Amino acid sequence: MAPTSPTLIGSVRRALALLELVAEHGELTAKRLSRMAGLPLATTYHLLRTLVHDGHLRHERGAFRLGPAAPRLAGQGRGHGARLPDWLRLLGEELDAPVYYAVMADGEVEVVMSVDAPGRPAVAEWAEFRATAHAHALGQCLLAQLDAEARRAYLARRPVRRLTPRTVPDEEALMRRLARIRRGAPVVEREEYMLGTVCGAVPITVGGVHSAVGFSLPVEEENRLDETALRLRGRLERALTAHAFTVLT
C-alpha cells in the first residue's frame, strides 16, 4: 500500500487535537494549548488562527472557546443534513461504492444516512445497526474512538453476538481488536455483519463529536477493500485540510 503523505496527516491531527482540547476544557489559552498538545507555540498560533477564521473556535479575553461552527460538526446547526446527501452521493461515485455516515450520539451508534452508488445499493439493515456496532466497520470505527470504559458501557447494553461465522466471537476479542486500531486509521471488516459483503470506515473526531464515514463492497471485490479505505481517508483529509469539514452538516 502506498503511504499517505505524513504532512497531510500531521496537519489534520494537530488541528483536531486543538479542537478536542478546547471542547474538553471549555476554554484554554494558546500557551496552554501549545503545552498540552506538545506543539511549538508558533504552530499552535497558526492552527488557531485558521480555526478561528473558519468559525470552529472563537478568541475572547485571551482564551479560545468553541466557535459558532462547532455545533454543526455534531449535526446541531441550522440546515443540518441539507448538504450531506449531495456530498455522500459524490463520494459514492468517486469510490464506486454505496456510502454511509454515522455518529455516536448519547452512547448509541446512529447511521444518519446511506446513499446508493450507481448500480450499487446500500446494505440492507437486516440486523439493527445501532445494536450491532461490534460487527460492522462503521460501528467498530466509532467504538475505537471511545475509551475502554465507554466501550464496556456500550457493550453492556449491546452485547456481542454472532451474526455470521466471521463475526468477532466475544467481547474480549472485540476489545483487543479495538485497542489495536491506531488513531485515525481506517477500519475494515470482511463478512462480519453480512455474508457476501465487506465494509470499510474512517473515523472523524472533532470537538468531542465522534463520527465516521464508511462504504460497502460485494465480497467478490474484496481485493478493493483496503485500497478504497485508504482513498476514503485521503478524501476526508483533503476536506479537512481545505477547511471544508462543515460539508457534513
Strand partners, 66: 57
Please determine, for residue 143, whether its predicted confidence score (pLDDT) is greater than 50.
yes
Task: Report the C-alpha gap between 188 and 191 in whole angstroms.
Answer: 10
pLDDT digits (tens, 9 = 90+) for 105-141: 778 898 888 999 989 999 999 999 999 999 999 999 9
What's residue 80's pLDDT? 41
What's residue 123's pLDDT? 94
Please determine, for residue 63, whether its predicted confidence score (pLDDT) is greater than 80.
yes
Specify the range with the lowest mean pLDDT, choosing from 33-37, 75-79, 237-241: 75-79
pTM of the model: 0.67
Task: Report the C-alpha gap between 106 and 125 in whole angstroms.
Answer: 21
Task: Report the C-alpha gap between 132 and 161 in whole angstroms.
Answer: 8
Nearest C-alpha neighbor of 220 from the set 97, 59, 83, 58: 97
Task: Report the C-alpha gap between 75 and 65 in whole angstroms.
Answer: 19
Please determine, for residue 91, whether its predicted confidence score (pLDDT) is greater than 60.
yes
Nearest C-alpha neighbor of 87 from the set 224, 241, 236: 236
Specify the range with the lowest mean pLDDT, choosing from 10-14, 133-137, 161-165: 10-14
Task: Give percent of the chain with pLDDT exceeding 90.
Answer: 47
Specify the range with the lowest mean pLDDT, choosing from 26-30, 74-78, 147-151, 225-229: 74-78
40 three-class SS: coil
Cell numbers at residue 187, please? 477500519
Nearest C-alpha neighbor of 202 from the set 192, 187, 222: 187
What's residue 121's pLDDT? 93
Burial (CB count within 10 angstroms: exposed 0-12, middle 13-18, buried 19+), residue 199? buried
Please determine, for residue 82, whether its predicted confidence score (pLDDT) is greater than 60.
no
The answer to whether 71 and 78 have CB atoms below 8 angstroms apart is no
Where b means 16+ CB within 10 Å and e means fewer, 22-58 reads bbeeebbebeebbeebebeeeebeebbeebeeeebbb
The answer to whether 236 and 211 have CB atoms below 8 angstroms apart is no
Task: Report the C-alpha gap between 75 and 249 in whole angstroms.
Answer: 6
Among 8-22, 76-90, 213-227, the range of highest mean pLDDT? 213-227
| Mean pLDDT, residues 132-157 | 95
Beta-carbon contacts of 94 under 8 Å, excluding residues fewer than 6 positions away, are 231, 235
The answer to whether 102 and 211 have CB atoms below 8 angstroms apart is yes
Task: Report the C-alpha gap between 11 and 6 in whole angstroms.
Answer: 9
Nearest C-alpha neighbor of 142 from the set 95, 203, 53, 96: 203
- Mean pLDDT of all residues in the chain? 84
What's residue 231's pLDDT? 95
DSSP 205-241: EETTEEEEEEEEEEGGGGGGHHHHHHHHHHHHHHHHH
Please determine, for residue 94, whether its predicted confidence score (pLDDT) is greater than 70.
yes
The answer to whether 125 and 136 have CB atoms below 8 angstroms apart is no
The answer to whether 23 and 208 have CB atoms below 8 angstroms apart is yes
What's residue 103's pLDDT? 86
What's residue 72's pLDDT? 54
pLDDT bin (cut points 50, 70, 90) of residue 161 is very high
pLDDT bin (cut points 50, 70, 90) of residue 241 is low
